[in-house]
Structure 1
Amino acid sequence: MTPLTIATLNTWGCRMALRGSQVLSFLREGGYSVVFLQETHTDLTAEDSWRLEWGDRVYFSYSMVRQAGVATLFSPDLRPEVLGVAKAVPGCLLHLRVRMEGLMVNLVNVYAPTSGVERLQFCQQASAFLGTLNSHECLVLGGDFNTTLEERDHSGTEQSLAAANTLREIVEHHSLVDIWRDHHTDDTSTFTFVRVEAHWSCIYLSCFHLSQAHSSSIRPAPFSDHHLATVTASLCAERPGPAYWHFNNSLLEDEGFVTSFWEFWLPE
């Protein structure tokens, strides 16, 4: 069971000339297993250069909107079986269904628009799509949500309470956990957006696999005005089997137990 490090980064602050080389070099040096990128501004013509720099394990979703585009990258050392790819919301939601270590995993990379109205519409679309996934499979939902679910994770006023509430419903319905927040319950000074205090980029994981998440971090990323959020977990198909109660026969030789047993069960 090899630990995997999943990272998410909004690349909006990266200059176009750097996005295809130095950023990818930074990610490669970090040794991340799976990378969710948002606001990539890529198109069909950029695919070859990205794959030349990174390798063939890159999946894109484009959009005509300037502030959009998502990409999911697998480390060259990680060879998951990709069973399905869905560009559910072009440029904003990319879904990969993969098998890793015998475990079925749904990797969902999201970029929620900055506009409150558009973000609400996106969250509703995302909710509808996530509802089509197999609830018995592991779900990893990561990216830039442009909203927070807790007041301590931002300093301003939420622009769209409706969008935040829809995201909260998604998290609750799919039993998801913000891993970094779960690991750093008392931290009120770490944020993922440099320009304002806001914990917007994060990685959610099915609560059933919470014990397999060993660590999480938020660290500065060069060439971007967002920080990199990571989660390291050992995802595998092994789950504890059902437990069966059995009586400890040695207690029959315990005089105190036998006496109390008879006193409890004998009719008055």
Structure 2
Amino acid sequence: MEKKKWGRLSFWCNGTSVPKGVAILIKPTLDINVTEKYRDTEGRKLIVEVKLDSNEIVRIFNVYDPNNGVERKDFFNKLTINKEKDVVNYVLGVFNCCLNRKLDRKHMPKREDVSNHELKNFIEKIELTDIWRLRYPNKKQYTFSRGKSYSRIDYIFTSENTDCRLNNAKNIYFPFSDHDGVTITMNINEPERGPFYWKMNNSVIKTDLFKNTFETFWKSWKHKINKFKDKKEFWDLTKTKIKDITITISKKLMLNENEVKKWEHKLETLLENDGTQQNLSEVEKLKNDMYKYYERKAEAARIR
């Protein structure tokens, strides 16, 4: 169940068919201890409980609910999570059901989705919050699209007492699926670091840009060691130069990421408006540009 490909811990619950399977990836820089884990045999439920460095207990529950309405009702009725005072719950995934037919579907149906009642009961029972809707109470934005059908069926629910720690909640266009990404950023207590503490970003040093820059630098720099009477001085200066290279590369990569964020923001604005022909053309162009960007990024990762 645990795989190291992510850079640290990752947890997987594989499905028996294509529309199943969930995973939880732990950020490599996050200092945690895994205290509990569970997965079902169908690729629909995965639970990981972790203890943070601040001693806070966090339980992450990733689900992939059935497409069939009757099966989904049964799934929600059987879905249980322990509600404990000192544990923060994050329940997330593909729910295949809208909470609000007026806001969560582009074309409002006459009736609520099958299993809507059961999902709401589950949320109330565990005392969870639709954190994105809390941030955007009247906004229409969708996480799933197929043809002319648009809906918000992908959610991140959090314990009710965590909303004050929310930094950011947003949906992100994902070019390789008919589902978009749903993200939140929360404050967690981390150990304080001194004013002169610098930590190298591992994700930066794994990039081709860093590797190529470092190889060019090291090819000439390594021959200068004999010019230093004190070898320690050489290595101290080497570390400083590597730090400078890392910071420079990080800034360049940030420019690329910022460009993508601008695309995402523009796409979000266009999708909120009723589609004129000009808007639809811009949407398709943006989606195509983002697809090419992520395709190049994925190809580079495969090569490495």
Which band: TM-score by shorter chain?
0.5 to 0.7
1: distance between equivalents of 2:98 and 2:41? Answer: 21
Give 5+ residue unaligned stretches, structure 1: 1-43, 238-268
Moved more, 137-146 or 161-170: 161-170
Residue by residue over 1:190-239, the C-alpha shift from the partner in whole angstroms, topping out at 9 and shown as x without a partner, is: 100122211111111111111011211111012121111111111349xx
Q: Identity percentage over the alignment?
A: 25
User: Which amino acid in 2 is paired with 1:207?
Assistant: E
Question: How do 1:150-165 residues align onto structure 2 when only pairs under 5 Å count?
Answer: 150-151=100-101, 152-154=103-105, 155=107, 157=109, 161=113, 163-165=115-117
Aligned to 1:95: 47
Give 5+ residue unaligned stretches, structure 2: 191-304
Pick from 119, 127, 141 the counterpart of residue 175 of structure 1.
Answer: 127
Alpha-carbon offset, residue 73 of structure 1: 0.6
Aligned to 1:149: 99
Aligned to 1:35: none
> Residues 63 and 158 from structure 1, CA distance in 2 versus in 1: closer, same or farther, beyond 3 angstroms?
farther
2: distance between equivalents of 1:164 and 1:89? Answer: 25
1:123 and 2:95 aligned: no
1:193 and 2:144 aligned: yes
- 3-state SS of 2:115 partner: helix
2: distance between equivalents of 1:156 and 1:68? Answer: 27
1: distance between equivalents of 2:111 and 2:67? Answer: 9
- 3-state SS of 1:153 partner: coil
- 3-state SS of 1:146 partner: coil
- 3-state SS of 2:120 partner: helix
Structure ranking higher on relative contact order (CA contacts 8 Å, 6+ apart) = 1
2: distance between equivalents of 1:227 and 1:187? Answer: 16
Pick from 64, 67, 82 the counterpart of residue 114 of structure 1.
Answer: 67
| Larger strand percent | 1
User: Which amino acid in 1 is paired with 2:157?
Assistant: Y
1: distance between equivalents of 2:172 and 2:23? Answer: 20
1:105 and 2:58 aligned: yes
Alpha-carbon offset, residue 160 of structure 1: 7.8
2: distance between equivalents of 1:158 and 1:80? Answer: 46
1:228 and 2:178 aligned: no
Aligned to 1:69: 21
User: Which amino acid in 2 is paired with 1:63?
Assistant: G
TM-score, normalisation: structure 1: 0.63
| Larger helix percent | 2
CA contact (8 A) 2:165 2:187 kept: yes
Q: Runs of at least 4 residues of structure 1 off by over 6 A?
A: none
Moved more, 201-210 or 132-141: 132-141
- 3-state SS of 2:144 partner: coil
Alpha-carbon offset, residue 161 of structure 1: 4.8
2: distance between equivalents of 1:234 and 1:88? Answer: 30
- Equivalences, count: 185
1: distance between equivalents of 2:35 and 2:72? Answer: 29
Residue by residue over 1:90-125, the C-alpha shift from the partner in whole angstroms, topping out at 9 and shown as x without a partner, is: 311100111123211110001101111221121122
Alpha-carbon offset, residue 167 of structure 1: 1.0
Residue by residue over 1:172-192, the C-alpha shift from the partner in whole angstroms, topping out at 9 and shown as x without a partner, is: 11221111111111212x100
- 3-state SS of 2:71 partner: helix
Aligned to 1:211: 164
Question: How do 1:247-262 residues align onto structure 2 when only pairs under 5 Å count?
Answer: none
1:82 and 2:34 aligned: yes
2: distance between equivalents of 1:214 and 1:168? Answer: 25
> Residues 68 and 182 from structure 1, CA distance in 2 versus in 1: closer, same or farther, beyond 3 angstroms?
same
2: distance between equivalents of 1:161 and 1:88? Answer: 25
